[in-house]
Amino acid sequence: METMFSLMDEKSKEKLTALKNPKVEKTVAEFAEICKPDKITVLNDSQEDIDYVRGLAIKNGEEQKLGTEGHTVHFDGYNDQARDKAHTVTLLSPGMKITKALNSMDRDQGLKEIFEIFVGCMKGKEMLVMFYCLGPTNSEFSIPALQITDSGYVGHSENILYRQGYKEFEKLQDKSDFFYFVHSAGELENYVSKNVDKRRIYIDLDENRVFTVNNQYAGNSVGLKKLALRLAIKKASEEDWLTEHMFVMGLHPKGKDRVTYITGAFPSACGKTSTAMLSGQTIIGDDIAYVRISSEGEARAVNIEQGIFGIIRDVDSKGDPHIFESITTPREAIFSNVLIKDTKPYWLGMGQELPKEGVNHSGEWKEEAKDKNGNEITASHKNARYTIRLSELENMDEKADAPDGVPVSAFVYGGRDSDTTVPVAESLSWPHGVFMGAAVESETTAATLGAEGQRVHNPMANLDFLVIPFGKYIEKHMDFGEQIKKPIKIFSTNYFLKEDGKYLNGMLDKKVWVLWAEGRIHNDFEAIETPIGFIPKYEDLKQLFKQYLNQEYPLANYTNQFSIRIDKYLDKLTRVEPVFRDEGDVPQIFWDQFEQQKQSLLDAKEKFGKSVIEPNEFLEK
Binding residues for substrate: 83, 217-219, 268, 383-385
Q: What is the DSSP string of 286-346?
A: SS-EEEEE-TTS-EEEEES-SEEEEE-TT--TTT-HHHHHHHSSSS-EEEES-EEETTEEE
Backbone angles phi, psi at 431, to 5 degrees: -60, -40
Which residues are within 8 A (CB) of 556 and not within 5 positions of it... i.e. 6 or more apart?
A: none
Backbone angles phi, psi at 312, to 5 degrees: -90, -20
Using an 8 Å Cβ cutoff, are 150 and 125 in contact?
A: yes
CA dihedral 71, 77, 81, 85 (to 10 degrees): -140
Q: Which residue ranges make up the annotated binding site for Mn(2+)?
A: 226, 245, 287
How deeply is 394 buried, as exposed, middle or buried, from its count of CB atoms within 10 A (0-12, 13-18, 19+)?
Answer: exposed
**CA–centroid distance for 510 within its chain:** 19
- 133 belongs to the catalytic site: no
Backbone angles phi, psi at 90, to 5 degrees: -95, 130
Q: What radius of gyration do the chain's Cα atoms show?
A: 24
Query: Of 35, 121, 133, 270, which is the active-site residue?
Result: 270
Q: What is the greatest pairwise CA distance in the chain?
A: 80
How deeply is 391 buried, as exposed, middle or buried, from its count of CB atoms within 10 A (0-12, 13-18, 19+)?
Answer: exposed
Classify 269 in phi/psi space as left (phi over 0), alpha (psi -120 to 50) or beta: left
How deeply is 254 buried, as exposed, middle or buried, from its count of CB atoms within 10 A (0-12, 13-18, 19+)?
Answer: exposed
Smallest CA-to-CA distance from 171 within 210, 205, 142 is with: 142
Distance CA 344, CA 328 (A): 10
Classify 311 in phi/psi space as left (phi over 0), alpha (psi -120 to 50) or beta: beta
Q: Which residue ranges make up the annotated binding site for GTP?
A: 269-274, 385, 416
Active site residues: 270
